[in-house]
Structure 1
Amino acid sequence: MSYLNPYSRLQTIHSAQEILELAQNRSYKLSMKSSLRLPRLERTRIREIARVQEFAKQVKSRLRDAVEGFPTLEKLHPFYYELTDLIVGVDKLKQALGAVYNSTRPIENIADRHIAQLKTATDIREMKRARRAAKGRISSIVRATAGNLDLMIEARRVLVRLPGVNTTIPTIVCAGFPNVGKSTLVRAVSTAEPEIAYYPFTTKEVIVGHLTVGNQTIQIVDTPGILDRPMSQRNEIEKKAIAAVKYLANVILFMLDASETCGWTFEEQMNLYSEVKRSFPLTPTVIVLNKVDITPSDHLAVARAKLPGAFEIVASSGTGVAELMQEALSEVDLEESTPTSSPD
């Protein structure tokens, strides 16, 4: 469901040099067959006017298309707005979009001014000088905004890869250390094959699944690289990327592996759980003990003592999953799906 990403339809954005080359090629490929019977001076006049018009049109349309392809930033859902701000900076992107769009305004005036000269020119050399001058001035405008185009190109490269998450339906977010069984759970409860998508500032990918309860679709998200290690090990940008999740999570499933086959001690997992609770104090959190079928009885007894009421499941076989999801869904207000969390 990548189409849910508001940037998914962004078309290729050309660099300043590419725009000028494309415009130049198009302006020189114009057919002037209808003017073949005219005197050479008039044929040249018609050709040079057409070249200036086409060059200006191509440049202007490519610059405006690059800008208008972006969604209105103020209308983005907060999740995508926050990620945009992290990736490129909303203010920087707005400035670049505005500068590129504004650069198109004088292009038509330049073209009109030189076309007027072409209409009154009395010799071929004067016409060619006017055409070269028009293209030169328009090219200068494009080159002056090259840096803004480069910023837009780089922003698009990352933004089109953002996960396509539905920001209008309730969302369950899975948290916990790697290998505790989060992605297995997402696949177990999803009614279709989950989508795997890129998430910025991590080396892993987000897994987005969906399930249907009555007439309501619920989204369940595994966020590898997001809520899976202590905050002390993260830089400021990573912390902000985590904060963006607050705009999605209606309920958090925090999964622990008491068998410790995930590679993390139970104490380390409990410390991470405490951090997640502190970071999302207003978001309902359901505690899950996974892999209980392979957990030694003494380990399981310790986990039960520390986490009374935790749901015990075996995600790989589905044991206990139905009861877990019933509890998770009871924490989701299907009438009002706006997350209430506000991370520290």
Structure 2
Amino acid sequence: MTSIYNFKRIAPVPDATDFLDIVLSKTQRKTPTVVHPGYKITRIRQFYMRKVKFTQDTFDEKLRQILEEFPVLDNVHPFYADLMNVLYDKDHYKLALGQINTARHLIDAVAKDYVRLLKFGDSLYRCKQLKRASLGRMATIMKRQKDSLSYLEQVRQHLARLPSIDPNTRTLIVCGFPNVGKSSFMNKVTRADVDVQPYAFTTKSLFVGHMDYKYLRWQ
């Protein structure tokens, strides 16, 4: 079990509109763009099947990246699991990741269905309509993930601001009533730089500092 997690490595999560733009523009750039009516029907089918498969692969790559980069609460140290539950509500967090995973499987199923239909496309027009319908259904699935993507981006931004904490090292917890000098104490004895205000209820985040005492490192 890893004790320190580098949450800053999690890539930004685009909103649903940007997500679609990224995927569809990549499909346009990376796959052939011209097909002629004079081509054999087998070549026309392959042209559109390739576009559907490439779009599905790109969706899968982007969605899988989100699922792999965000921490799985059951696999992280209990300290981080409890902290994330307090900050983000673990049920909401798990639901959002679950919906992203479901969308990935739905897009995969749509692509397989339309690739199967394209194998029997009997004209350029028919194949083009099938390709358009498949990409439209994939886009609809992603648009429904708008709230989950937005929520996960908020979580990512917050996680990136969390200090690096090693739950397995020697730890002193400074807590107490408001405005009694906790932040000032941390600034004095550690290398932390906590903003200190002259009025109560001003420290609203988790702060971590490190110090050496008798050749031992404390956090």
Same fold (TM over 0.5): yes
Question: What is the CA distance between 1:43 and its match in structure 2?
Answer: 4.5
* Equivalent pair of 1:48/1:131 in contact (CA under 8 Å): yes
Question: What is the CA distance between 1:78 and its match in structure 2?
Answer: 3.3
TM-score (norm 2): 0.80
1:95 aligns with 2:95: yes
Question: What is the CA distance between 1:103 and its match in structure 2?
Answer: 1.7
Question: What is the CA distance between 1:90 and its match in structure 2?
Answer: 0.6
SS at match of 2:48: helix
Alignment of 1:1-344 (within 5 A): 4-32=4-32, 39=39, 41-175=41-175, 177-178=180-181, 181-187=184-190, 194=191, 202-203=203-204, 206-211=207-212, 213-214=214-215, 216-219=216-219
SS at match of 1:68: helix
Equivalenced residue count is 206
Question: What is the CA distance between 1:182 and its match in structure 2?
Answer: 0.8
**Higher mean C-alpha deviation, range 75-84 or range 178-187:** 178-187
SS at match of 1:59: helix
Question: What is the CA distance between 1:79 and its match in structure 2?
Answer: 3.0
TM-score (norm 1): 0.53
Name structure 1 gaps, 5 residues minimum. Answer: 188-193, 220-344
Q: Which residue does the alignment assign to 1:231? A: none
SS at match of 1:217: strand
| Whole-angstrom distance in 1 between the partners of 2:69 and 2:194 | 22
* Equivalent pair of 1:5/1:162 in contact (CA under 8 Å): no
* Equivalent pair of 1:165/1:208 in contact (CA under 8 Å): no
Q: CA RMSD in A?
A: 3.0
RCO higher in 1 or 2 (8 Å CA, sep ≥ 6)? 2
Give the 3 Å change call, closer, same or farther, for CA 210–4 of structure 1 in structure 2: farther
Which entry has the higher C-alpha Rg, 1 or 2? 1
| Whole-angstrom distance in 2 between the partners of 1:57 and 1:15 | 19
Give a deviation string over 1:195-225, Cα, whole Å, max 9, x none: 5589xx94567241132645x5322xxxxxx
| Whole-angstrom distance in 1 between the partners of 2:183 and 2:126 | 76
Question: What is the CA distance between 1:40 and its match in structure 2?
Answer: 6.2
Give the 3 Å change call, closer, same or farther, for CA 67–126 of structure 1 in structure 2: same
Structure (1/2) with the larger helix percentage: 2
Question: What is the CA distance between 1:65 and its match in structure 2?
Answer: 1.4
Question: What is the CA distance between 1:16 and its match in structure 2?
Answer: 1.7
Give a deviation string over 1:84-139, Cα, whole Å, max 9, x none: 12221011101111111122112222112211222221211101100011111111
Give the 3 Å change call, closer, same or farther, for CA 181–71 of structure 1 in structure 2: closer
What amino acid is the match of 1:148? S
SS at match of 2:21: helix
SS at match of 1:173: coil
Structure (1/2) with the larger strand percentage: 1
What amino acid is the match of 1:206? F
